[in-house]
Every structure is written in structure tokens, then in C-alpha cells.
């Protein structure tokens, strides 16, 4: 069965502000129910969606992930400070305040590694809890397709394949806008519980920032999402 996967960009989940250029992704792949990895093909753009093509040969759970090439961005001081607060990075804000840098622009190198889960047909194999080895990754610790509203989804955050403590996870429901429905921080094991409020699409997002302090940039941020679908009862 041929698959057409749409890549979106923007904060108003699941709407897209612009079509990503999938040909420029440094990695684009899918893990099939039998555990094998298949590279996805960049297939151009349609409206505000970037397109990827693949093939689903069996029923079961599939994992899709991409990685973007790092870019360097400079934000004026106020914008950078607001961004740190909005994205759950108050420790970076406090560090800038401590060092008297709040009036200085922020120059960062950033990259994205989003991941999505989907199920084809009924039954079949596949491991939604599989670790893909992304630079920053949100890993479900339960099968989200078995959840219903009122449940919670335990997740683990990995940065460079190691648990990331005190990471600020936000979760979005369709049309939440820039602000998430809620947030939670990971514990010492990099784990947290995300509430499931309704059926349909949900995405969990996270930004993590480090300070390599190179000649080209002061900060490096990593951004990821985990997107999946909570099925309606009986489906």
C-alpha cells in the first residue's frame, strides 16, 4: 500500500504555516511493524505541506521520523528572552540574568527531529515504544493506541540516547494555538505522565537547549515532537 505522509511546520497544531522542503531533511525514514527501517522519498510540496512517500506492506504500527539540518538564528534580546520563558527554558533565562546578558541578542544553532506513530489496519505487529536514536526523542512507555480519554501516557525523554531530567514537555490538541494545553516536567529518570483528554490527534513537544558557546553561536537548541492518534471506542 503506497503511503503519502504530510510534513507540517508551525505552532497551530495540526495546521501548517508553510511547507517544509522534505528534500533538505538530513534523515527521513519509517520503521515498519517487523522492525525494519525504510528510507522515505521526498515528494515535493502540496499547499502548505511537505510530502514524503513510503510503502506499508503489512498491518501494524509504523514509526516515522525526520531530522532537519541545523540552522543558525539570531533573535534580538527581548524576543530571545520571551522564547526562553514560553518554551519552558527558565534555567537558561536565569543564567542569562545572572551573567548580565538579558540585554544581549541570542544566537543559537537549532535543529528538529519530530516523530509520529500511526497504525495501518487492525492487529498486526509493531512496537510504538521503540527508540529510534534521534538527537532528542520522546518515547512512549505504553501503546498510545490502547489508551482512552481519562488515561495517562507515560513517556521517557532521551537526549543523545540518555534520560533527560527536568525537561519541560507540553502537549497540544488541535487548534490550541501557540500555548500548549498543559505542561509537565520529567523526573530524574527522564519520565513524565501526559494526560489523555480526548480522542483524535495529540502531539507532545519539547525544546532542549545547551550552551556550546562556539565562535559562531552561543546556544544550541534541539526540538522534537511525538504525534499520534487516540482512537475512538471500538475502532
Q: What is the pLDDT of residue 122?
A: 84
Range 79-89 burial, b when 16+ CB lie within 10 A, else e: ebbebbeebbb
Distance CA 204, CA 157 (A): 11
Where does the pLDDT of residue 235 fall: very low under 50, low under 70, confident under 90, or very high at 90 and above? low
Measured between alpha carbons, how far apart are the two ends of the chain, in Å? 20
Query: Closest Cα partner for 82 from 68, 67, 102, 100?
Result: 102
- Across 29-57, average pLDDT: 95
Tell me how many helices (H) and strands (E) the chain has: 2, 17
Whether 70 shows a pLDDT value over 70: the answer reads: yes
Largest CA distance in the chain: 57
Ordered by start, the domain boundaries in the chain are 2-230
C-alpha cell at 103: 540585554
Q: pLDDT of 149-189, one tens digit each?
A: 999 999 999 999 999 999 999 999 998 877 889 999 999 99
- Across 61-79, average pLDDT: 97
- Across 57-73, average pLDDT: 96
Determine the 3-state secondary structure of 22 from DSSP.
helix
205 Cβ contact list (under 8 Å, min separation 6): 169, 170, 171, 172, 180, 223, 224, 225
Q: What is the DSSP letter of 33?
A: T
C-alpha cell at 185: 516536567
**Cβ atoms within 10 Å of 234's Cβ, excluding its own:** 4
Q: What is the pLDDT of residue 179?
A: 83
Residue-averaged pLDDT of the chain: 95
Whether 234 shows a pLDDT value over 70: the answer reads: no
Strand order, beta sheet including 41-46? 2-7, 49-55, 41-46
Q: What is the pLDDT of residue 111?
A: 97
Start-end of H helices in 49-191? 77-86, 90-98
Distance CA 45, CA 23 (A): 10
Q: pLDDT of 93-135, one tens digit each?
A: 999 999 999 999 999 999 999 999 999 988 889 999 999 999 9
C-alpha cell at 58: 503489512
Query: Closest Cα partner for 122 from 63, 32, 201, 60?
Result: 60
Amino acid at each position: 500500500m503506497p503511503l503519502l505522509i504530510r510534513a507540517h511546520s508551525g505552532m497551530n497544531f495540526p495546521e501548517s504555516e508553510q511547507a517544509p522542503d522534505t528534500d533538505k531533511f538530513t534523515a527521513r525514514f519509517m520503521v515498519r511493524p517487523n522492525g525494519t527501517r525504510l528510507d522515505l522519498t521526498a515528494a515535493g510540496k502540496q499547499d502548505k505541506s511537505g510530502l514524503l512517500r513510503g510503502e506499508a506492506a503489512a498491518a501494524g504500527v509504523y514509526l516515522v521520523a525526520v531530522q532537519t539540518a541545523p540552522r543558525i538564528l539570531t533573535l534580538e534580546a527581548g524576543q530571545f528572552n520571551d522564547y526562553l520563558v514560553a518554551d519552558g527554558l527558565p534555567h537558561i533565562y536565569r543564567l542569562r540574568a545572572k551573567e548580565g546578558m538579558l540585554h544581549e541578542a541570542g544566537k543559537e544553532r537549532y535543529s528538529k527531529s519530530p516523530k509520529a506513530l500511526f497504525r495501518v489496519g487492525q492487529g498486526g505487529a509493531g512496537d510504538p515504544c521503540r527508540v529510534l536514536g534521534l538527537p532528542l526523542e520522546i518515547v512512549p512507555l505504553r501503546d498510545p493506541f490502547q489508551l482512552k480519554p481519562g488515561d495517562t501516557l507515560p513517556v521517557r525523554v532521551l537526549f543523545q540516547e540518555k534520560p533527560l531530567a527536568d525537561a519541560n514537555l507540553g502537549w497540544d490538541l488541535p487548534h490550541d494555538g501557540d500555548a500548549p494545553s498543559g505542561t509537565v516536567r520529567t523526573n530524574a529518570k527522564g519520565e513524565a505522565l501526559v494526560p489523555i483528554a480526548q480522542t483524535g490527534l495529540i502531539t507532545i513537544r519539547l525544546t532542549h537547549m545547551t550552551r556550546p558557546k562556539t565562535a559562531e553561536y552561543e546556544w544550541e537548541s534541539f526540538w522534537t515532537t511525538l504525534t499520534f492518534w487516540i482512537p475512538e471506542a471500538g475502532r
